[in-house]
């Protein structure tokens, strides 16, 4: 999945066990979908907490946030509660969502990638960096601001 591609109506289960449909989230506005390798690890905690810390700024541009990893519902719930994340975490245990976005590795955890998706399901930005965890939220926010206030 890359800039200009359309995201299908994907569904998964969030950290509460409830079904989460991307079309429902996108009906509310743009969506930032960030994939992280594993809940409760240093880098993924740093990345997720940075998204949490910028949540008001994402809301100000009308965007929602959702995190996705292959961790199960219980691990996602533990991760969300421990860090008071405040946005849905999808338990993509079969990695079908990661596959659809092209971030599933054949072996090991999914790639660390972030996608900014417009209300029309079109990818407007993709951020890839395995080690610059803080860059994902910052660049996603920048992409949203550019999309809503073109120069």
Q: Which of 13, 32, 44, 63 is catalytic?
A: 44
Query: Exposed/middle/buried for 56, CB within 10 Å: 0-12, 13-18, 19+?
Result: exposed
Give strand pairing partners of 68: 35, 90
Q: Report the 10 Å Cβ neighbour count for 119.
A: 14
Distance between CA atoms of residues 112 and 67, nearest Å: 11
Residues in the chain: 151
C-alpha dihedral, 34 to 40 to 42 to 46, nearest 10°: 40
Token couple for 71: 């961790």
Bridge partners of 122, per DSSP, are 6
For this structure, is 44 an active site residue?
yes
Question: Where in the sequence numbering do the catalytic residues fall?
Answer: 44
């Amino acid at each position: 999945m890359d800039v200009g591609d359309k995201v299908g109506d994907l569904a998964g289960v969030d950290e509460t066990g409830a079904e989460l449909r991307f079309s429902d989230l996108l009906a509310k506005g743009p969506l930032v979908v960030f994939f992280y390798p594993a809940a409760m690890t240093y880098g993924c905690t740093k990345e997720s907490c940075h998204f949490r810390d910028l949540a008001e700024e994402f809301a100000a541009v009308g965007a929602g946030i959702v995190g996705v990893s292959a961790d199960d519902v219980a691990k996602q719930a533990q991760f969300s509660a421990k860090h008071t994340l405040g946005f849905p975490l999808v338990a993509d245990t079969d990695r079908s969502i990661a596959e659809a976005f092209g971030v599933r590795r054949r072996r090991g955890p999914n790639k660390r990638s972030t996608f900014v998706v417009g209300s029309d399901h079109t990818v407007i930005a993709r951020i890839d960096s395995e080690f610059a965890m803080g860059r994902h939220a910052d660049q996603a926010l920048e992409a949203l601001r550019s999309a809503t206030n073109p120069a």
